[in-house]
C-alpha cells in the first residue's frame, strides 16, 4: 500500500517522465529488480521445511517481529519500474489540466488505496485458508519450490524483456 502511494506520488512528480527520458535509469532499475527477484526465488526454493508444525509459527513470528517481511515486500514492490511507468501512463488521462492538480491526485490516491486495501483483504483471507494446507511438510516444500521457480522465472523475463 505504501509503495503504491509512493509510486503514485513519484509519478505525479515526474519520475515516469524521467524514466522514459533516461532509459539507462529504467534499465538499471529493471536489472536490480530482476536480481532481487532471482534472490527471492532462490531463497524461497531453499527455505527450510519444518516437520513439526509447532516450530513453523515460531519462525514466522520471529521474522515478522523484526519487520523482515514488510521490508521484503517494500523492496519487491519498489524494484518494479514498470509499475511507475504504468502509473505515469494511466493517471494523467484522469487529470483535467484546467482544474487544480492536488485535489485530483488526492481522489486518485484515495481510489487506488481503497482498491488496494480490498485486494489485501482478499489476499489475507486466501492466505489464511491456504495456511492450513501448508502445515504439512510435503505441501510446504512443494509450495516453496513452486514460488521460488515462479520468482526465478519472473526474474528471467524481467531481465530478458527490453522496452
pLDDT on residue 153? 95
Contacts for 46-50: CB closer than 8 Å, 24+ residues apart = 46/148, 47/144, 47/148, 49/137, 49/140, 49/141, 49/144, 50/137, 50/140
Residues 46-61: pLDDT tens digits? 988 876 655 555 555 5
> Does residue 28 come out as left (phi exceeding 0), alpha (psi in the -120 to 50 range) or beta?
alpha
pLDDT on residue 127? 83
DSSP per-residue codes, 124-158: HHHHHHHHHHTTSHHHHHHHHHHHHHHHHHHHHHH
CA 103-80-161 angle, to 5 degrees, is: 130
Residue with cell 520471529: 62
pLDDT over threshold 70, residue 121 = yes
Task: Please state, in angstroms and rounded to a whole number, the distance separating the CA atoms of residues 140 and 57.
Answer: 13
Alpha-carbon dihedral sign for residues 150, 155, 161, 163:
positive
| Least confident window among 4-18, 30-44, 93-107, 111-125 | 4-18
pLDDT on residue 149? 96
Contact 6, 75 (CB under 8 A): no
pTM: 0.54
Amino acid at each position: 500500500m505504501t509503495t503504491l502511494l509512493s509510486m503514485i506520488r513519484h509519478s505525479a512528480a515526474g519520475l515516469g517522465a524521467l524514466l522514459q527520458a533516461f532509459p539507462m535509469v529504467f534499465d538499471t532499475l529493471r536489472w536490480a529488480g530482476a536480481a532481487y527477484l532471482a534472490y527471492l526465488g532462490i531463497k524461497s526454493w531453499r527455505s527450510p521445511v519444518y516437520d513439526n508444525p509447532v516450530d513453523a509459527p515460531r519462525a514466522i513470528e520471529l521474522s515478522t517481529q523484526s519487520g523482515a517481511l514488510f521490508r521484503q515486500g517494500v523492496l519487491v514492490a519498489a524494484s518494479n519500474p514498470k509499475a511507475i511507468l504504468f502509473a505515469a501512463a494511466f493517471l494523467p488521462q484522469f487529470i483535467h489540466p484546467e482544474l487544480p492538480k492536488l485535489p485530483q491526485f488526492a481522489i486518485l490516491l484515495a481510489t487506488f488505496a481503497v482498491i488496494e486495501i480490498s485486494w489485501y483483504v482478499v489476499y489475507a483471507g486466501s492466505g489464511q485458508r491456504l495456511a492450513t494446507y501448508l502445515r504439512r511438510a510435503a505441501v510446504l516444500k512443494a509450495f516453496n519450490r513452486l514460488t521460488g521457480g515462479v520468482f526465478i522465472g519472473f526474474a528471467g523475463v524481467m531481465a530478458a524483456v527490453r522496452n
